[in-house]
Structure 1
Amino acid sequence: MPRYPDEQLIHASACEIRELLLKKEISAHDLLDALENRIALVDNKVNALPTLCFERARTTVNELEKKPVTERGILGGIPVAIKDLTAVKGVRTTYGSPIFADEIPDHSDVLVETMEKNGAVIYAKSNTPEFGAGAHTFNPVFGTTCNPWDLTKSAAGSSGGAAAALASGTAWLAHGSDMGGSLRNPASFCGVVGLRPSLHLVASGPSPTPFQTLSMQGPMARNVEDTALLLDAMVGSHPTSPLALDAPGERFLATSRKKTPPKKIAFSPDLGVSPVDPEILDICKTAALHFQEAGVIVEESCPDLSEAPEVFRRLRGLDFLVGLGPLQEEHPGKLKEDIILNIEYGRNLSAEDIAWAERKRGEIYHRMQSFFGEYDLLLCPATIVPPFPIEQRYVSECAGQKFESYIDWLALVSSITITASPALSLPCGFTSAGLPVGLQLVGRPRADAELLSAANLLEEILPKTPTPILPKTF
């Protein structure tokens, strides 16, 4: 079997890796060897993958290679990193919390089981804020994840470890989750692709809150086609996830490769809900206008989302109370202050407060659907600022406007969360300081395939973002 140099494998796309596996020009063991060497080279600087499980991965590969190459699933042996909020059997799973610092689950989340059935090889857990709370990846168990483009900057969060691993070449594919932008923010900061799929397109669990509609599991990768490939390995219904959808008839990768241009799209500089750094806005608007090169009509427009940030704030508070309230009672004083504040905020909501949020969410959803009667996509910046210094806990102000809480700077992504639309962050350029910028593309609910196809088209038009990179400091 010909041996490909590690550097060549690390820089290959996941789809290229899949072809090499199918042709038996490489083995999944070669991929694990390359990852081990790359992690040893760069992750002591980045801290993206604090927990490794290569022995488990090699056992998985040994079993997988007993099957004919055409029967090894959609991924066929490609390694995948799992966010440290999701259980992997026999692998330390901390949730970024001292409470679970030594937790080793005796079962895997059904999403992990689904991916492994589809040929994923789990080799690492990616870093995350404590219980995923916050858009900057640091926790008291593993510390802070740094942005490979500038190690003095944040990788965002809460899927910051996943994004940083992709950017620094310690992952081809990475799993993440997204409540208020946790796939999209780190994708923007690290120059990779992050997709928050439609509601419950990806089954997960078992969970104490299987009917919740805020936090969704999704794929991250270095480009759109690789993201679609991983989504294909994630989707499907499962009894533990009562709202989960069946996998579509046509695979997302196949649809994405059609690169079907939308007829008409809307660009909004701020969704009417947030200030945006002028440089970020200029880069994103320029990128959106590139759709015109494919004959697409681009107009500046946006549905009324003015009440979306408050709707998200209330429903998020309720979600924290339901999901983490019992843990606070069981372990008083052991959760970080931000989480406690969110739980208490939820506890202080009245029934009328929650009813208002649910009614308004319904109004916003229907308003958004009317908007999609005229436009195929809604585009806007994915983040309002470039990557910020790792010493900051969060963005406290932008363009002269100060924020009251650590989630206020996320309004561009959290407002889209409550619309039930799939949303993707696509690398679209660099700041004058050489830091990545992401453009958020929002599609119709359950039109993830159309979204990926349009994103792939725009990615082809835009200048390429050269990931993976060696970590550096400006």
Structure 2
Amino acid sequence: MTERRDPALQSAREQARRIHAGELSASELLEACLARVERHNETLNAIVTLNPEAESEAGAVDAAFAGGKDPGPLAGLVVGIKDVTETAGLRTTYGSPLFADHVPEEDALIVRRLREAGAVILGKTNTPEFAAGGNTWNEVFGVTRNPWNPALSAGGSTGGGAAALATGMISLAQGTDLGGSLRIPASFCGISGLRPTPGLVPTVPAAYLWDDLQSTGLMARDPEDIAFGLRAISGPDPLSPVSAPVPPWGDSGAADLAESRWAYAGDIARIGIDEGVDAACREALTSLRAEGARVEEVDLDLSYAWEAFLVLRGHWFVSHFEAELHRVDAFGPNVSANLRSGLALTAAEIGAAENVRRCVREELLTLFDRYDALLTPCIAIPPFPVEQNYPETVGGRPMETYVDWIAPTFLLSMPGLPVACVPAGVDAGGLPVGLQVVGPPRGEGRVLAVSSAIHRARPIGLPPLVAEA
């Protein structure tokens, strides 16, 4: 079945339009997505737990339309929920053997809002243990593979959602982003992801209720689908003290390139950049300039904030896992290392890190006095072998911890600004390369409009796994 004919591979907006117009039923879309699961999931291991109620959920959407009711803007769309996000009555393991049989009693807020908007929950997507890692693997379900080359990593930590999206198993993917988890897999799998302002979609329930470092959001096959999905689920909630006002979205289409002024920074983390990644990003800039965008190269060095992020990450883990500190060594290597790092911190170190975070935000706000958006490579290297926890070197520089190689994303997590990832093209090996798009406060609409302009200028098509099927 070709991309044009298979509803599973259409944009979420087109799927929703067709369902509302009566051209496609929710049950038919679910059937098409399940066919993609049957075709690709054994190879990729993206969906780890199927929702046994998915067919009845789709049937309820169809019944509502038949009765003259509109179930919501996302009616019938098929959504994958990251396996760190609670789903009532559906196993949620957090990718941890310690919770392999855990079944929550209630939905997380984002899941409830997706359901209320009419979405159908297909199941849970794979993640590293407690989302700690840039490569999606865990001891419960194993590794998730890249649809562009199954020998390679799909990225993390929302790698299952990214691989499922790229192959048409789902319409939208829910995920979380602490240090890049909605952007890294988007880059590796050739889709789009947005880390929204923390609190735009409040993260509840949560042990660390005042968490303003992690963000909850969506990935999709194109940026306009992310805007479409977020409109339906954004807004404050009384259970969360961390909330962001719903931004003025404006037009969900692409930015006017002739009216755009963007900054481009190559190596913001000063870890070096792969030649193929650099070439693909610069080819994207050439394409954008040819269509009228003003893109100016700037020298932006945020490497001074590297250690500060690691401090904040350690504090984040201790805050989230305070009730589990008696069994630090029972967790996998990534989680336990973060907990031990966090337990060794002093109050002075945490305070200093928060002040560095302030400096990063102030530096970027100054940049936005002159530019509409900041563009920078998402990941400095192409996807690496899936068996590796993380790449040992980047640009010849040894990586000391499993998060060092994702510094280009985690440094941009610090200021609390919206950051997207959109494909910039492919490298010489045919692997996707992602560009990050950073916007001003409450600038989700602008970020997604810029991302849409890049998406239209640099289409990369389907992964070989899908195109050859």
Q: TM-score, normalised by structure 1?
A: 0.94
Number of residue equivalences: 464
The answer for unaligned runs of 5 or more in structure 1 is none
Give the whole-Å Cα distance in 2 for the aligned partners of 1:120 and 1:286: 37
The equivalent residue for 1:285 is 282
1:211 shift after superposition: 1.2
Per the alignment, do residues 6 and 282 of structure 1 end up closer, same or farther by CA in structure 2, a change over 3 Å counting?
A: closer
- Selected match of 1:407 from 403, 407, 427: 403
Range with greater deviation from structure 2 (360-369 or 189-198) = 360-369
- Selected match of 1:270 from 267, 270, 278: 267
Q: For 1:5-20, what aligned pairs fall within 5 Å after superposition? A: 8-20=6-18
Q: Deviations over 1:222-263 (max 9, x none)?
A: 111112112222211111222223434x6x4x6221533453
The equivalent residue for 2:462 is 467
Per the alignment, do residues 70 and 295 of structure 1 end up closer, same or farther by CA in structure 2, a change over 3 Å counting?
A: farther
Pairing 1:341–2:340 present: no
Question: Secondary structure of 1:10's match?
Answer: helix
Contact 1:304/1:367 (CA < 8 Å) preserved in 2? no
Q: For 1:217-228, what aligned pairs fall within 5 Å after superposition? A: 217-228=216-227
Question: Secondary structure of 2:64's match?
Answer: coil
Give the whole-Å Cα distance in 2 for the aligned partners of 1:279 and 1:62: 47
- Selected match of 2:417 from 414, 421, 438: 421
The equivalent residue for 2:40 is 42
1:166 shift after superposition: 0.9
Pairing 1:216–2:202 present: no
Per the alignment, do residues 200 and 340 of structure 1 end up closer, same or farther by CA in structure 2, a change over 3 Å counting?
A: same
Question: Percentage identity across aligned positions?
Answer: 37
Contact 1:256/1:454 (CA < 8 Å) preserved in 2? no
The equivalent residue for 1:94 is 93
Range with greater deviation from structure 2 (214-223 or 299-308) = 299-308
Pairing 1:115–2:114 present: yes
Give the whole-Å Cα distance in 2 for the aligned partners of 1:86 and 1:97: 13
Pairing 1:308–2:300 present: no
Question: Secondary structure of 2:211's match?
Answer: coil
Give the whole-Å Cα distance in 1 for the aligned partners of 2:69 and 2:398: 55
Contact 2:4/2:10 (CA < 8 Å) preserved in 1? no
Range with greater deviation from structure 2 (450-459 or 127-136) = 450-459
Give the whole-Å Cα distance in 2 for the aligned partners of 1:234 and 1:57: 20
Q: Which residue identity does 2:408 align to in structure 1? A: L
Question: Secondary structure of 2:72's match?
Answer: coil
Pairing 1:81–2:77 present: no
Q: Which residue identity does 1:139 align to in structure 2? A: N
Give the whole-Å Cα distance in 1 for the aligned partners of 2:328 and 2:226: 40
Per the alignment, do residues 272 and 174 of structure 1 end up closer, same or farther by CA in structure 2, a change over 3 Å counting?
A: closer
Q: Which residue identity does 1:326 align to in structure 2? A: A
Question: Secondary structure of 2:330's match?
Answer: coil
The equivalent residue for 2:437 is 441
The equivalent residue for 1:430 is 426
Q: Deviations over 1:126-153 (max 9, x none)?
A: 0000000010000000000000111100
Question: Secondary structure of 2:81's match?
Answer: strand
1:170 shift after superposition: 1.0
Per the alignment, do residues 307 and 198 of structure 1 end up closer, same or farther by CA in structure 2, a change over 3 Å counting?
A: same
1:281 shift after superposition: 1.0
1:290 shift after superposition: 2.6
Contact 2:267/2:301 (CA < 8 Å) preserved in 1? no
1:294 shift after superposition: 3.6
Contact 1:255/1:452 (CA < 8 Å) preserved in 2? no
Give the whole-Å Cα distance in 2 for the aligned partners of 1:440 and 1:332: 34
Give the whole-Å Cα distance in 2 for the aligned partners of 1:416 and 1:332: 28
Q: Deviations over 1:275-316 (max 9, x none)?
A: 111211121122133322342221111444232211111100
The equivalent residue for 1:161 is 160
Per the alignment, do residues 263 and 434 of structure 1 end up closer, same or farther by CA in structure 2, a change over 3 Å counting?
A: closer
